[in-house]
Structure 1
Amino acid sequence: MASETYSHGHHHSVVDVHAVRTAQDCAGYLLPELAPGMSLLDVGCGPGSITSDLAALTAPGPVVGLDSSEDVLVQARELAAGRGLANASFVAGNVYDLDFPDETFDVVHAHQVLQHLMDPVAALREMRRVAKPGGLVAVRDADFSGMVWHPPTPELAEWMRIYQLIARGNSAEPDAGRHLLAWALEAGFTEITPSSSNWLYATPAERSWHADSWSQRVLHSAFGEQAQDRGLADAQGLQRLAAGWQEWAAAPEGWFLIPCGELLLRA
């Protein structure tokens, strides 16, 4: 398989966003299934904020966070240690070749991971391999083409066009949310509980936070680097996109909705 490219990269403007995610706002569909003592693997754990929440809920059961980036794992370990979560550990790894025996975990979880992969079906099969019989594989992914915003902002439309080209240029699927069910069926799952949930940015504080994040990501993260390397935008164009995000945030009627697909898959 060709080398994977993570479309978002690991600039602090990206990791800082991931670091404020919680199990409550990112894995609500999974939480009713969890119980103390369960073992859990969190694939693509990033800086570990969701992983730590899950570890608190399933303690004393062992929770392993896995990511391809050693840099973010340092942050994840520090967070778990600071919260006194002795049952949480973090390792570098590859979702296509998980370094665990068959039937190891009660739950295998992946949040916003499949959208970045060249072969999400193979990843789901590997996640199922390490889940115990009757255990759960839980996945949640955004659907970029399903995102809606108001007021109409040409720079945000251009941002979306460029993001789609970047992700697809990396052989990824930015509209993963709508594909999850098809991928799960192809991977061989038969007991499937689908659901969806949204992120909404509509208060002044939420709009400011979301716009500040994407303004920085447009200019400094892998988004901007790939856009320029592939001739999708120049530096001036990226500055215009960043300003467009701030213009959208300043509108008192500003609204940005991100839909996410979710699946609970019985192994």
Structure 2
Amino acid sequence: MGERGLRVIREFQSYYDDLNGVRRAIVRRIPVAPGQRWLDIGTGDGWFALEIERVLSPRVVIGIDLARCEVELARQHAWDSHSRLSAFVQMDAYRLGFPSETFDGVGTFLALQDICLDLLSMRRLFGEINRVLRPGGWFALATTTPEDAETPSQKLALEIYQYIRAGFFTKAEIQEALERVGFEVEHLEFYPTGVNLEPEEAKAFIQFECDWLERAYGWRNKPDWQAVWARFEPRIRALGGLEVDAKVTFFLARKVRMVNPVPERLMELSREVRA
């Protein structure tokens, strides 16, 4: 990657760190009292957990991620931010290493499509979140719903994400999964982030996303970024850019009952079918 590509990635990362204040706006919609315990699933760079710490004044925030490199980055951000309440650990979101009813709230920010491959795995994730939440606890879910993309550029960004690594779920699928495992959706809102990458910025972003798979998860069968760029370049240039994560869908759900988790064997069978 040339110097311009590196600059683009740095600028995009700087944008993502702030995300036009969307994380802060979402956290402020969560009706919780100070001194509670929170869990951030798929914490990535840790910014959502740190925003919870800044805005909600919890007792503690624990961020978990399967990728060690992401956990290390989140710890660095916590250090740079002089965090005193947030801790970050490597952990599988489907096997949370916490006793039942440990947390007052659980959040996840733009990580659902990276964690869950299908509806069964999403229900299993939500069931595990239900398990570690106390009765009446909050689940703050920020994601992207494909049917709510507003422009051709936003729709193309979702298509590229799906082509590289990620799947997305509709609002109806998410709500059905939440209700099936004991949640009640109390609030649904959309937040624009305002991002619009120019074509060369989109090229650097595609390279970053493809390379990230190997860095984060050791996935050597990653897509070749040059092939991905060649496939989508004409459409990106025709649209004049790429609106990546331009619109965030926020679900605020409350735990209203405990349910039995999805059996592990069903998850194994689901993975075998996909394979």
> Which TM-score applies when normalising by structure 2?
0.70
The residue aligned with 2:173 is 179
TM-superposed CA distance for 1:68, in Å, is 1.0
In the TM superposition, residue 63 of structure 1 has moved relative to its aligned partner by: 0.7
- In structure 2, the partner of 1:263 is 252
Task: Say which is worse superposed, 111-120 or 85-94, in terms of deviation.
Answer: 111-120
Deviations 1:60-87 (A, max 9, x none): 5011011111112222112212222211
% identity of equivalent residues = 20
Gaps of 5+ in 2: 1-8, 213-220, 257-275
Matches within 5 A, 1:78-93: 78-93=76-91
Q: How many residues align?
A: 235
2:164 and 2:172 mapped to 1: Cα distance? 19
Cα deviation for residue 128 of structure 1 reads: 1.0
CA distance in 2: counterparts of 1:36 and 1:146, whole angstroms: 33
C-alpha distance in structure 2 between counterparts of 1:55 and 1:99, whole Å: 21
Does the C-alpha gap of structure 1 residues 103 and 14 become closer, same or farther in structure 2, counting only changes over 3 Å?
farther
1:97-148 superposed Cα distances (whole Å, 9 cap, x missing partner) = 0011111111111112223302111001101111112211221211134212
Amino acid at match of 1:197: F
Q: Under a length normalisation based on structure 1, what TM-score does the superposition of the two structures give?
A: 0.72
Does the aligned pair in 2 maintain the 1:141–1:261 contact within 8 Å? yes
The separation in 2 between residues aligned to 1:125 and 1:174, in whole angstroms, is 19
Alignment partner, residue 185 of structure 2:
192
The CA RMSD measured in Å over matched residues stands at: 3.6
Return the alpha-carbon distance in structure 2 between the equivalents of residues 58 and 80 of structure 1: 16
Pairing partner for 1:207 from 196, 201, 205 = 196
Alignment partners' CA distance in 2, 1:52 and 1:228 = 33
Aligned partner of 2:206 in structure 1 is 218
1:121 aligned counterpart, secondary structure: helix
Please show how residues 87-126 of structure 1 align to structure 2 within 5 Å: 87-116=85-114, 117-118=116-117, 119-126=121-128
Out of 136-145 and 83-92, give the one that drifted further.
136-145
Equivalent in the alignment of 1:4: none
| Distance apart, 1:33 and its partner CA | 1.3
Larger proportion of helix: 2
What are the residue-to-residue correspondences of 1:121-160 with 2, within 5 Å?
Answer: 121-149=123-151, 160=158
* Cα distance in 1, alignment partners of residues 189 and 234 from structure 2: 33
